[in-house]
Each structure stands twice: as C-alpha cells, then as structure tokens.
Structure 1
Amino acid sequence: MKLLVFLTKGFETIEFSVFIDVMGWARTDFGCKIDVVTCSLNRRVVSSFNVPVMVDKTIDEVSADEYDALAIPGGFEEFGFYEEAYHEKLMDLIRRFDAQKKWIATVCVGALAVGKSGVLKGRKATTYHLRGAHKQKVLQDFGAIVVNEPIVVDDNIITSYCPQTSYGVAFLLLEKLTSYHEMCLVKEAMGF
C-alpha cells in the first residue's frame, strides 16, 4: 500500500508530520505495509515558519495509479500556500484520485485544494472554521456542502477543520487503509 503526501509551499508542519508519524508507527511496530511517499511541485519545499523539506518525488514523477491514497496538509496564505495549492497539476492529480475512488485526506485548508479541483461539488466537507469561518465560505463557493464538524467524511474524501484535527485524520486514514483493529493498536501504542 502506498500513501502520497503532497506538500505545497507554506504547508503546515504539524499537519504534514502526523501522516509520516502515524503510518511510520503502523509500519515499524505493527508490520502494516504502508509506504509513504512525499511529493510537491518542486524537489525542495519550504513550510510555513520556514522549515525546508526535500520531497521524494515531484508531481511530474507520480501517477494516481501507483498510490492507494493522497494526503494534503493545509498551510498559511502568508507563506504562499495558495500559490501551489491551486496549481493545475495538483488539481488534475486530485481529480484522478477521486475518479478512481481512492482515499483523499486533508487537514484544515488542504480541503480548499480539493474544493478548487471541483470534486467536492454537492459533497459534504469542512475546512478551517475559526476567524469568522471565512475559509468555510470559500469552500462553499467551490460548491461543497459545508459541515461545521471537526472531521467530515463523504465517500472517499476526508476533510477536517484545523491543525488540532490532524491526528484524527491520520488515524482515520490508517483505518481506511488497513482496519479498525490495526488503527486502534497504533493509536494506543502512541498514547492516544
């Protein structure tokens, strides 16, 4: 099994690291065969708060056919998140994952990339809910049915509304890729 984690310029570090951590625990301590591959538009990506990360592959080197799930952390507009989150190459990748009914998991404003791609039209989703819910209004403008809950699942898409939900999203994705039992073992071993 393979999880593709897509990083945009200005991504939120905690929202990225949970996927690496949870899937790493599952693989290392419990033998779950989940490989995590990081990807971006460029080989080097600078997160919000200026943490540089080297990804495994660029978007031109991946195909939705090769992966079982896609994870998209959110990020900060002030650090250029939307410059890459709305890039047509990412929009196309999201559409391909959705067309194959593969899992797409987002944290916070990562949902806006999925919304912009068009695959959330008429589907339930959520995104950042604080500061006047202005990001939820953007998601609604993309055609999503906004649900103001911490984590929302509609068919093959998982969305959530703030960094605090990131572990919940990663555990839920682990459950969808393996089983409820496997997820519970990892969650308990990590102290949750």
Structure 2
Amino acid sequence: MKKILLLLANGFEAVEASVFTDVLGWNKWEGDGTTEVITVGLHKQLQCTWNFQVSPEKLLNEIALEDFDALAIPGGFEEAGFYKDAFSEEFQQVIRHFNENKKPIATICVASLALGNCGILQNKKATTYSHPTSKRLAQLQSFGASIINERIVQTDHIITSSNPGTAFDVAFSLLEMLTTTENTQKVKDLMGFK
C-alpha cells in the first residue's frame, strides 16, 4: 500500500485537496487498490479558504514521515492565512524530508511557493499561479526557481501547477507516479476523464 500524506495548511482550497482524496480514493476501490490518503495538518481544526472547517485525520506531530510514500499539498489564499502554515518551519521540514528521499511531491497552484520557500526549487523548472494580474510567478522566481510557462511542470519527483483548474491533472500525474500509466487510464476512464 502506498501512503500519501495530504498536507493541509490553514486557508487551503478545499477543491484542491479533494481531488487528491477523490482520485487516489477511486484508485483504492476501483483501480489497483494500492493508494491510501491520510490528511495531516498543524491544527486540530483547519479553516478552508471559504466558509467551512475540516478536521485532519492526524496532526503532524502524530505521524512518522518515513511511513509515507508521497506528499500532496493543495494551495490556498494569503487572505485566509495560507502562508502562515505553508511557510512555517514544521511544514518546511516535511517538504525537505520528501525531497531528500526523492519521494513524489505534488503541489497545486500556489502550494509550489512552499517548496520554493524551503529552497528545494533552486535552479529547478517549476510554475505557480500564473494569472497576469498575480505576483506569484515573480515570488517563485525570487526563490531561485526556473519559471516554465506551462499548466503543469514535472521535474524529477516534483509536480507544480499554474492554477486550480489543473487540480485533477496533478492528482492523476501523482497516481501515475505511484502506480502505472495503464492503471491511471483505467481510473480516469471510470471517473469520466478522457
């Protein structure tokens, strides 16, 4: 069984988290059965970007990072306090662990800024929220990343993406890294994706 750590910062976007639980959950029941997602946060109660709260299954201090095979991080909004958690030392230590062990790391939208902030995107191809009105690409570049203007950028074991609209594709890319292309196609077909 491949265990995926879904790391939730306060102020995360629920839809960006739910694609990981859905795609990897469909795989658990309808695909090859090898993926299990555990939601983890720094607080017992997390406020989503919009109007509801969630309770992660585990707190960060209750888990052993060695037990996990991949890391998934949804993005969120500064106004909702996302970067307070995402740029915290506890959060950064998790990212460094997965990077040092070359385990898959999948991020959606601005979650890639957490990777940049802890230094693992130095001279690596990456992207983040890329709308022309946004300062986020420049911020990612300031962390040393080589900006690639594509919807999704995969460099080695790291996936970054440019907006919430990429969420399902990122989750499927992670599934493919953890299983096979054939299995991923089967799950996509069952979920109604081409």
TM-score by length of 2: 0.97
Partner deviation per Cα, 1:32-81 (whole Å, 9 max, x = no partner): 22110000101211100022111011111223211010000000111111
> In 2, distance between residues paired with 1:127 and 1:22?
22
Letter in 2 for 1:110: A
* Higher mean C-alpha deviation, range 104-113 or range 128-137: 128-137
**Kept in 2: contact 1:12–1:74 (CA 8 A):** yes
* Higher mean C-alpha deviation, range 157-166 or range 127-136: 127-136
- Report the RMSD for the aligned CA atoms in angstroms: 0.9
**Kept in 2: contact 1:27–1:34 (CA 8 A):** yes
Alignment-derived partner of residue 114 in structure 1: 115
> In 2, distance between residues paired with 1:13 and 1:31?
26
Alignment-derived partner of residue 153 in structure 1: 154
Report deviation, 1:133.
4.1
**Is 1:95 paired with 2:96?**
yes
Report deviation, 1:190.
0.4
> In 1, distance between residues paired with 2:132 and 2:9?
23
> In 2, distance between residues paired with 1:41 and 1:125?
26
Unaligned runs of 5+ in 1: none
**Kept in 2: contact 1:32–1:178 (CA 8 A):** no
**Kept in 1: contact 2:32–2:183 (CA 8 A):** no
Secondary structure of the 1:132 match is coil
The number of residue pairs the alignment matches comes to: 192
Alignment-derived partner of residue 140 in structure 1: 141
> In 2, distance between residues paired with 1:147 and 1:30?
32
* Residue identity (%): 45
Structure (1/2) with the larger helix percentage: 1
Letter in 1 for 2:143: F
Secondary structure of the 1:5 match is strand
> In 2, distance between residues paired with 1:51 and 1:24?
22
Letter in 1 for 2:179: T
**Is 1:76 paired with 2:77?**
yes
**Kept in 2: contact 1:151–1:159 (CA 8 A):** yes
Secondary structure of the 1:121 match is coil
> In 2, distance between residues paired with 1:114 and 1:163?
17
Secondary structure of the 1:50 match is coil
**Is 1:191 paired with 2:157?**
no
**Kept in 2: contact 1:125–1:159 (CA 8 A):** yes
Structure 1 consecutive aligned stretches of length 4 or more whose deviation exceeds 4 Å: none
Letter in 2 for 1:142: F
> In 2, distance between residues paired with 1:180 and 1:159?
19
1:33-52 residue pairs with structure 2 within 5 A? 33-52=34-53
TM-score by length of 1: 0.98
Alignment-derived partner of residue 21 in structure 1: 22
